[in-house]
């Protein structure tokens, strides 16, 4: 009995010591990230030197060069580019829309009300004179499916399903509403619609249209699609209550060019004990083309870089290989994520964990995971008390970033930084997604949270 | 053994059922608050109909009337005003300052650089021509105490201790830096200084001066005090590196008027089982005078009102009395909090818990508490798993709002809503503290968090 007690006391002592020890390291991550502010400075350079970074664009090419340059200054063990062919869609110069009232509207002193729209990513252009047709409103794909096809034929379909405000997590509201953006054009075209206008994927009512990827079905005729700002969507909906056979006009000049050569940018610190076990941190380097892609996903890229910088600056030598991957083409193709996973598979690399940051540079709450129930329970049991001290212990959500999800099957833990989501959809895919709209401290704390999780996984394994 | 097992199973079953049941109620709080958005609408009215609400002002008087009016629409069991005499300090019309360079500075094409200042609350005015004197910089009270008094005499002391960025919680940075604001004038006057300029209590570098209360010591001569924006503080500090005997000028016309009659505004839902046990929720109705006091602390007032509205709208009949108190005069005197506590004491009321919201309307993380270790441990053991589901399970921080702290000794649990603190000091006590700078969803979630904690305390006791 005495020896059992002795062993137990030793165990408790070393366990407490390890917790205290780990707590000090995590505190250092937060203090260092917050006081040095390097990720925020990297984000400035990425946003201001490269600008928008849609796959195939000049900005994306500049971002590859800049990211490689940053990684090269950090004393990593290797830095390299991984070739990947990416889709190349361009918006073009013309993009406008208006509601056409049957007679002059006193508010506008005209029968035309200009509204804020942007082409959805991947859309074909309208004819050069634009599209003009009667517009009909539906609340989403479900409502469209219940309509009489004769009422859709020849019309512009206006999808106006708003975000469900009752969800605490805004990403759940996004998931519920986004089907109309992705599938709206193909479903409407199936019934003979000539174009679609989709309510922006936004939490609030404002004048900013939100772009984002949409899909076509090769067996159905392709029609043009634009997103309309939430404020204008409300106006259009109001106008339709007054006048059922309202006309709408929009024109776009976007086009798909041949696929372009691009790159994932990769750097790593080799593990001291298990160099063949890899822990990936990453974000995506490409962005939509309306602004600087600061929250989506410059933030994720610079936070991931910061993880390795924090290890280096605190002289922590990881047992496993810690690798940062700046993925290309998450927004409209996912080619970078797929390429990385295929390469890792081919190399027979053992991936222990892959943690993406692609939900904005807001205050971290924890990590969402794609993981077995038993491993989630183990992670919570071992580390939640410590992570709770830093308010990053929310570990119950499902999901991982779409780039790292390509690693499913060859990676033990797929995860994503889970930041506060309340303001994300004020910026996502809009002209407002600029460096100025990222809070330096929130961003840095996200990097420290990622470093903390990586540190624990590296030290104790999974 | 079998009967023990049976009892255990029954216990586990009822315990699980209670958890599930409670989880549904908490989910309803969040969904209702987020979808109805009533607190945000109340905050709009408070900010836009009353404006700034410094104790004794017309805005504060309007806020008393409006708050009572809102409570009267909610079907509460009682609504009343509680008289309280409050200090009445006014800013006056003149408020300006400048750095006086020895010769024309090329940047300003003059030897004068205008800087952004505001009088600190409670300060005396400068002479009508203002104060002009050599300015010396210190990093805080500690550095002042080490100086040769002869170097201070006749000077304007510039306190320039910045926020420590390495703290994760910005309130800790505030606590560390704020001594120079409160005690700066009396300490400098002790050594013969003629005025003080204090770096604004802010996380970021910008042009907004932050006011806030400062103190005098009746045995030391009173000198005028202003806060300077962080951007201008940096400029002044830079200028002092170039030129040690730089002059500074400022003028203010603030004054203290006779104490004024004001009120706490109170409403309650009477408990069905233990009507004499009270749970208080509250915020402070007064604000500083530079803007609308939206984050500080209109948010806390409307969130506290929303707690009672959520109980009513979900038809939850509390066992204990749930009381909302909109405290007057937190900012420069704390008379409302003191008055309420004295009244409660006199009535021999049993206060089970008092939860203030006075840290801004940002996404809730949990609650800070002034409580015994054993009660904190019990609260965490019983409710943290449930609260974690709603990401409001951070329960380790110390502290309660300064209004409810007057209840110490007659209240079992003193607590404060603990929201994310990263953006608070961008607004606190500045001209930027307006309704537009409050996020509706973050505000509403704070109200739901308070309702959740109140619900659990009411249902299970402490």
pLDDT of residue A19: 64
Report ipTM (2 d.p.): 0.94
* A15, A19, A22, A28: CA torsion to nearest 10: -150
Looking at A206, A229, A253, which one is the last position of a domain? A253
**Do both A315 and A199 map to the same domain?**
no
pLDDT of residue B244: 79
**Do both B332 and B447 map to the same domain?**
yes
The DSSP 8-state label assigned to residue B461 in this structure reads: -
CA distance A228 to A233: 6
On whether any CB of chain A is under 8 Å from the CB of B38, the answer is: no
Identify whether the C-beta of residue A23 lies closer than 8 Å to the C-beta of residue A452. no
* Phi and psi torsions of B106, nearest 5°: -55, -30
Nearest-CA residue of chain B relative to A396?
B389
**Do both A201 and A248 map to the same domain?**
yes
User: Do B363 and A422 make contact, defined as CB atoms within 8 angstroms?
Assistant: yes
pLDDT higher than threshold 60 for residue B410: yes
User: Do A34 and B396 make contact, defined as CB atoms within 8 angstroms?
Assistant: no
Among A388, A446, A449, most B C-beta atoms within 10 A, so best to mutate, is A388
Identify whether the C-beta of residue A308 lies closer than 8 Å to the C-beta of residue A283. no
On whether any CB of chain A is under 8 Å from the CB of B389, the answer is: yes
pLDDT higher than threshold 70 for residue A375: yes
| CB within 8 Å of A124: residues ≥ 6 apart | A222, A223, A224, A254, A255, A256
On whether any CB of chain A is under 8 Å from the CB of B259, the answer is: no
Among B34, B163, B166, B360, most A C-beta atoms within 10 A, so best to mutate, is B166
Beta bridge partners of A416: A356, A368
**Do both A101 and A140 map to the same domain?**
yes
pLDDT single digits (tens) B190-230: 999 999 999 999 999 999 999 999 999 999 999 999 999 99
Q: Dig out the tokens for B359 from the structure.
A: 């840290």
Beta bridge partners of B83: B263
- In chain A, which residues have their Cβ closer than 8 Å to the Cβ of B423? 439
Beta bridge partners of A119: A226
* Phi and psi torsions of B255, nearest 5°: -155, 160
On whether any CB of chain B is under 8 Å from the CB of A85, the answer is: no
Where is pLDDT greater, at B7 or B38?
Answer: B38
On whether any CB of chain B is under 8 Å from the CB of A442, the answer is: yes
On whether any CB of chain B is under 8 Å from the CB of A62, the answer is: no
pLDDT higher than threshold 90 for residue A115: yes
- In chain A, which residues have their Cβ closer than 8 Å to the Cβ of B437? none
**Do both A284 and A383 map to the same domain?**
yes
Per the domain annotation, does A162 fall within a domain? yes
Q: Dig out the tokens for A2 from the structure.
A: 């005495």
Identify whether the C-beta of residue A422 lies closer than 8 Å to the C-beta of residue A170. yes
Q: Which of A31, A388, A420 sits opposite B420 (nearest CB)?
A: A420
Q: Which residues of A are catalytic?
A: 330
In chain A, % of residues over pLDDT 90: 92
**Closest-CA distance of chain B to residue A441, Å:** 7
CATH code for the domain in which residue A281 is found: 3.40.630.10
Please return the burial class of A402, using the count of CB atoms within 10 Å of its CB with bins 0-12, 13-18 and 19+. Answer: middle
**Do both B249 and B296 map to the same domain?**
no
Q: pLDDT band for position B13 (50/70/90)? A: very low
Per the domain annotation, does B19 fall within a domain? no
**Upper half-sphere CA count for residue B190 (Cβ side, 13 Å):** 15
Sign of the alpha-carbon dihedral angle for B384, B387, B389, B393: negative
Q: pLDDT band for position A110 (50/70/90)? A: confident
pLDDT higher than threshold 70 for residue A164: yes
Task: Choose, from B95, B251, B292, B330, the residue flagged as catalytic.
Answer: B330
Q: pLDDT band for position A109 (50/70/90)? A: confident
User: Do A167 and B34 make contact, defined as CB atoms within 8 angstroms?
Assistant: yes
Cis check: omega of the bond before A297, within 30 degrees of 0:
yes
Please return the burial class of B437, using the count of CB atoms within 10 Å of its CB with bins 0-12, 13-18 and 19+. Answer: middle
pLDDT higher than threshold 70 for residue B1: no
CA distance B307 to B414: 17
pLDDT higher than threshold 50 for residue B189: yes
Size of interface A-B (CB pairs under 8 A): 65
Question: In A389-444, which ranges are E strands?
Answer: 411-419
**Closest-CA distance of chain A to residue B403, Å:** 26
* Mean of pLDDT values over B64-73: 98
pLDDT higher than threshold 80 for residue B9: no
Identify whether the C-beta of residue A433 lies closer than 8 Å to the C-beta of residue A292. yes
Provide the angle, in degrees to the nearest 10, between the axes of the packed helices B299-313 and B38-45.
140
User: Do A391 and B365 make contact, defined as CB atoms within 8 angstroms?
Assistant: yes
pLDDT of residue A9: 42
Q: Dig out the tokens for A215 from the structure.
A: 């899909």
Nearest-CA residue of chain A relative to B385?
A394
Per the domain annotation, does A11 fall within a domain? no
Residue numbers of A between 107 and 166 with CB closer than 8 Å to B: 165-166
Per the domain annotation, does B5 fall within a domain? no
Looking at B210, B228, B253, which one is the last position of a domain? B253
On whether any CB of chain B is under 8 Å from the CB of A396, the answer is: yes
On whether any CB of chain B is under 8 Å from the CB of A363, the answer is: yes
- Residue A322's closest CA among A84, A71, A83, A28? A71
* Mean of pLDDT values over A411-421: 98
**Do both A51 and A161 map to the same domain?**
no
- In chain B, which residues have their Cβ closer than 8 Å to the Cβ of A393? 388, 393
Per the domain annotation, does A16 fall within a domain? no
CA distance A250 to A195: 9
CA distance A289 to A300: 17
- In the numeric block, the tokens 């001209």 are attached to B431
On whether any CB of chain A is under 8 Å from the CB of B58, the answer is: no
Regarding pTM above 0.90, the answer is: yes
CATH code for the domain in which residue B141 is found: 3.50.30.30
pLDDT higher than threshold 90 for residue B104: no
Phi-psi region of B172 (alpha: psi -120 to 50; beta: other; left: phi over 0): alpha
**Do both A42 and A171 map to the same domain?**
no
Q: Dig out the tokens for A451 from the structure.
A: 């470093």
On whether any CB of chain A is under 8 Å from the CB of B35, the answer is: yes
Q: How many domains does chain A have?
A: 2
pLDDT higher than threshold 90 for residue A25: yes
On whether any CB of chain B is under 8 Å from the CB of A23, the answer is: no
- In chain A, which residues have their Cβ closer than 8 Å to the Cβ of B203? 441
Per the domain annotation, does B368 fall within a domain? yes
pLDDT higher than threshold 80 for residue A169: yes
Buried b or exposed e, range B23-51, using 16+ CB within 10 angstroms: eebbbbbbbbbbebebbbebbbbbbeebb
Per the domain annotation, does A2 fall within a domain? no
User: Do A35 and B423 make contact, defined as CB atoms within 8 angstroms?
Assistant: no
CA distance A389 to A385: 7
* Mean of pLDDT values over A239-262: 95
User: Do A165 and B365 make contact, defined as CB atoms within 8 angstroms?
Assistant: no
CA distance A55 to A263: 10
> How do strand B350-356 and strand B411-419 relate by DSSP bridges?
parallel
On whether any CB of chain A is under 8 Å from the CB of B424, the answer is: no
- In the numeric block, the tokens 């089970």 are attached to B352
pLDDT higher than threshold 60 for residue B17: no
User: Do A165 and B34 make contact, defined as CB atoms within 8 angstroms?
Assistant: yes
- In chain B, which residues have their Cβ closer than 8 Å to the Cβ of A394? 388, 391
pLDDT higher than threshold 60 for residue B462: yes
Nearest-CA residue of chain A relative to B167?
A31
* Mean of pLDDT values over A421-433: 98
**Do both A205 and A285 map to the same domain?**
no
On whether any CB of chain A is under 8 Å from the CB of B381, the answer is: no
Please return the burial class of A446, using the count of CB atoms within 10 Å of its CB with bins 0-12, 13-18 and 19+. Answer: buried
**Do both A205 and A297 map to the same domain?**
no
Task: Say whether A352 sits in a helix, a strand or coil.
Answer: strand
On whether any CB of chain B is under 8 Å from the CB of A394, the answer is: yes
Q: Dig out the tokens for B334 from the structure.
A: 């704390």
pLDDT of residue A243: 84
User: Do B31 and A166 make contact, defined as CB atoms within 8 angstroms?
Assistant: yes
The length of chain B in residues reads 462
On whether any CB of chain A is under 8 Å from the CB of B445, the answer is: yes
Q: Which of B30, B168, B389 sits opposite A34 (nearest CB)?
A: B168
Among A441, A444, A451, most B C-beta atoms within 10 A, so best to mutate, is A441
* Choice among A25-29, B77-81, B99-103 with the minimum mean pLDDT: B99-103
**Closest-CA distance of chain A to residue B147, Å:** 28
**Closest-CA distance of chain A to residue B302, Å:** 19
* Mean of pLDDT values over A366-378: 97
Per the domain annotation, does A3 fall within a domain? no
User: Do A35 and B166 make contact, defined as CB atoms within 8 angstroms?
Assistant: yes
| CB within 8 Å of A227: residues ≥ 6 apart | A117, A118, A119, A120, A181, A197, A198, A199, A200, A201, A209, A210, A211, A212
- Structural domain including A333 reads 26-89+258-460
User: Where would I find the H helices in B324-372?
Assistant: 335-347
Q: Which of B35, B168, B388 sits opposite A445 (nearest CB)?
A: B168
Looking at A253, A283, A315, which one is the last position of a domain? A253
CA distance A429 to A214: 13
pLDDT of residue A317: 97
Helix, strand, coil content of chain B in percent (nearest 5) = 40, 25, 35
CA distance B63 to B41: 15
**Do both A41 and A60 map to the same domain?**
yes
pLDDT single digits (tens) B156-187: 999 999 999 999 999 999 999 999 999 999 99
pLDDT higher than threshold 50 for residue B336: yes
**Do both B65 and B213 map to the same domain?**
no
| CB within 8 Å of A38: residues ≥ 6 apart | A306, A309
* Mean of pLDDT values over B30-35: 98
User: Where would I find the H helices in A37-132?
Assistant: 38-45, 58-72
- In chain A, which residues have their Cβ closer than 8 Å to the Cβ of B32? 166
């Amino acid at each position: 009995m005495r020896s059992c007690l002795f062993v137990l006391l030793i165990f408790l002592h070393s366990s407490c010591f390890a917790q205290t020890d780990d707590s000090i390291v995590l505190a250092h991550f937060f203090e260092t990230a917050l006081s040095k502010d390097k990720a925020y400075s990297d984000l400035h350079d990425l946003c201001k030197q490269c600008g928008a970074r849609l796959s195939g664009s000049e900005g994306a090419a500049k971002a590859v060069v800049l990211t490689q340059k940053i990684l090269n200054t950090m004393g990593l063990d290797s830095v390299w580019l991984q070739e990947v062919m990416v889709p190349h869609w361009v918006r073009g110069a013309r993009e406008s829309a208006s509601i056409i009232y049957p007679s002059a509207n006193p508010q506008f002193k005209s029968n035309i009300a200009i509204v804020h729209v942007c082409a959805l990513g991947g859309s074909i252009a309208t004819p050069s004179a634009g599209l003009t047709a009667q517009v009909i409103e539906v609340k989403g794909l479900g409502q469209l499916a219940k309509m009489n096809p004769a009422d859709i034929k020849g019309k512009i379909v206006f999808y106006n399903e708003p975000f469900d405000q009752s969800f605490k997590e805004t990403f759940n509201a996004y998931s519920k509403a986004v089907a109309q953006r992705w599938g709206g054009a193909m479903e409407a075209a199936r019934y003979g619609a000539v174009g679609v206008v989709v309510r922006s994927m936004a939490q609030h009512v404002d004048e900013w249209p939100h772009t984002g990827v949409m899909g076509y079905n090769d067996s159905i005729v392709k029609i043009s699609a634009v997103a309309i700002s939430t404020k204008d969507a409300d106006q259009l909906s109001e106008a339709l209550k007054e006048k059922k056979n309202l006309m709408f006009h929009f024109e776009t000049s976007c086009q798909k060019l041949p696929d372009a050569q691009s790159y994932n940018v990769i750097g790593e610190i080799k593990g001291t004990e298990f160099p063949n076990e890899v822990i990936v941190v990453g974000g995506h380097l490409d962005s939509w083309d309306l602004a600087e892609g600061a929250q989506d996903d410059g933030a994720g890229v610079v936070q991931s870089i910061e993880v390795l910088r924090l290890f280096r600056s605190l002289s922590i030598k990881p047992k496993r290989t810690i690798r940062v991957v700046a993925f290309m083409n998450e927004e409209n193709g996912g080619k970078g994520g797929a390429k990385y996973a295929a390469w890792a598979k081919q190399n027979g690399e053992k991936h222990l964990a892959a943690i993406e940051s692609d939900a904005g540079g807001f205050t971290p709450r924890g990590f969402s995971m794609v993981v077995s129930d038993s491993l989630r329970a183990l992670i919570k049991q071992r580390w939640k008390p410590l992570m709770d001290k830093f308010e990053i212990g929310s570990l119950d959500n499902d999901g991982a970033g779409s780039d790292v999800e390509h690693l499913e099957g060859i990676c033990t833990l797929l995860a994503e930084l889970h930041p506060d989501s309340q303001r994300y959809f004020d910026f996502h895919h809009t002209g407002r997604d600029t460096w100025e709209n990222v809070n330096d401290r929130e961003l840095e704390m996200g990097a420290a949270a990622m470093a903390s999780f990586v540190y624990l996984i590296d030290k104790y394994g999974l």
